[in-house]
Amino acid sequence: AAPTRRAGRHLLQIPGPTNLPDRVLRAMDRPVIDHRGPAFRALTERLWPGLRRVFGCSGPVVIFPGSGSGAWEAALVNTMSPGDRMLMCETGHFAVQWARIAERLGLRPELLPGDWRHGADAEAIRARLSAPDGGGFRAVCAVHNETSTGCVSAIPEIRDAMDAAGHSALLMVDTISSLGSMPYDAEAWGVDVTVGGSQKGLMLPPGLSFNAVSAKALEAARHAALPRAYWDWDAVIEANEGGVFPYTPATNLLYGLAEALDMLAEEGLEAVFERHARHGAATRAAVAAWGLETQCADPAQASNSLTAVRMPEGHSADAFRALVLERFDMSLGNGLSKLADRVFRIGHLGDFNDLSLIAALAGVEMGLCEAGVPYGAGGLDAALDSLMRRAPSAPHAA
């Protein structure tokens, strides 16, 4: 009979959900407690300082059991009214999905066109906001790290563009695949609503979503007329004051979250960001040596949490990914919507070190060889060289 077991660990190198650290798994492996009792209140108290640190905020971080898409919806229904116009930057699949949700909610999103190879264009935002009909936008929305393309949008530049246009719109940012992997600072960057999820840089399973909310967004919520019930911020913020939630919370995911926040603090957020930057640079060095192209066309905008690699003409990215899964037990990310079968994505985020990166890149290089994709030799060597030239941060003294 064919073997039914594969030896060794599966490599989950999609750009989220990410590999779970054993510490997080152990932290969740416990009985469910009373979510209105004293032990639960103690658990929630542990969450707020760490959450505020990763979001870079001092106001509320609203937690919902839900996926990132739920946090998108929550950001909109709490701040907008039917028919409100919003300017959304078309950086890729996820930016478009967020705009579709806005449309379904009865909002009027306008997509600022993009080529899916760059981050948002701050100058185009400034020009659109300054146009004669540009005053009416109630929000500007951007995806910080576009997971479908591996391009980063410079949020401070978008803030500057809004300020230069003298515009009062809310700034909403999706940080689902950058939070806890790349520098992010909601307050310093003037972001009003930050959308997050548990399953990427926070090293947790899918199932928690977040909105970090500014004072201006809370004020907008007082006048926003879209119907909202489950996603209502006020109900959660009020219940949180007593250490509880207005719904049954995902208790064990919250244990995992407390542990993951401790782990990020022990390593030090700056060191976490530098680790992702080293791995992003080493991955791009490998891709360049293979003679392949990254989907992100501007090296200054390249993501440090994932790299989307363009498949040479005439070769199927999905067939390549299927071969890598079958031969090496590694999952790579697929191309989404118009990039379907055209790119594969290497996730290099979360609980990840030099040797996990090298294993992932070795799987890609062997896969290219076996799939008969034309590529240059030496990708792995280029990655090793990149890692060795950029010394890792010293362990953080807690």
Binding stretches for ligand PLP (CB under 6 A): 16, 67-69, 94, 143, 147, 174, 176-177, 197, 206
On whether 345 is known to bind a ligand per the annotation, the reply is yes
Task: Please name the residues in contact with 386: beta carbons below 8 A apart, sequence gap of 6 or more.
Answer: 278, 281, 282, 285, 286
Angle at 90 (CA atoms; ends 88, 96), nearest 5 degrees: 85
Q: Which is nearer to ligand PLP, 57 or 74 (CB)?
A: 74
User: How far apart, in whole angstroms, are the C-alpha atoms of residue 297 and residue 195?
Assistant: 26
Q: Which is nearer to ligand PLP, 260 or 323 (CB)?
A: 260
What's the closest the beta carbon of residue 197 comes to ligand PLP, in angstroms? 5
Residue closest to 214 by CA, chosen among 51, 395, 62: 62
Task: Please name the residues in contact with 71: beta carbons below 8 A apart, sequence gap of 6 or more.
Answer: 64, 176, 195, 196, 197, 209, 210, 211
Q: Which is nearer to ligand PLP, 16 or 180 (CB)?
A: 16
Q: Which is nearer to ligand PLP, 173 or 371 (CB)?
A: 173
What's the closest the beta carbon of residue 181 comes to ligand PLP, in angstroms? 12
DSSP result, 88-145: EE--SHHHHHHHHHHHHTT-EEEEE---SSS---HHHHHHHHHSTTGGGEEEEEEESE
Residue closest to 330 by CA, chosen among 94, 10, 83: 10
- Strand, helix or coil at 183? coil
Query: What is the amino acid identity at position 205?
Result: P
Within 10 angstroms of residue 180's Cβ, the number of other Cβ atoms is 29
From the number of C-beta atoms within 10 Å of its C-beta (0-12, 13-18, 19+), residue 397 rates as exposed
Contact 184, 175 (CB under 8 A): yes
What's the closest the beta carbon of residue 66 comes to ligand PLP, in angstroms? 8
Q: Which is nearer to ligand PLP, 67 or 130 (CB)?
A: 67
Tokens representing 166 are: 């003298």
Q: Which is nearer to ligand PLP, 17 or 134 (CB)?
A: 17
- DSSP H/E element including 319: helix 317-328
- Is the sign of the CA dihedral 270, 271, 275, 276 positive or negative? negative
Residue of minimal CB distance from ligand PLP? 68
User: How far apart, in whole angstroms, are the C-alpha atoms of residue 322 and residue 331?
Assistant: 8
Q: Which is nearer to ligand PLP, 177 or 294 (CB)?
A: 177
User: How far apart, in whole angstroms, are the C-alpha atoms of residue 170 and residue 296?
Assistant: 27
What's the closest the beta carbon of residue 97 comes to ligand PLP, in angstroms? 7
User: How far apart, in whole angstroms, are the C-alpha atoms of residue 71 and residue 66?
Assistant: 7
Tokens representing 321 are: 């990914």
What's the closest the beta carbon of residue 262 comes to ligand PLP, in angstroms? 23
Q: Which is nearer to ligand PLP, 103 or 381 (CB)?
A: 103
What's the closest the beta carbon of residue 334 comes to ligand PLP, in angstroms? 11
Q: Which is nearer to ligand PLP, 176 or 285 (CB)?
A: 176
- From the annotation, which residues make up the binding site for substrate? 345
- From the annotation, which residues make up the binding site? 345
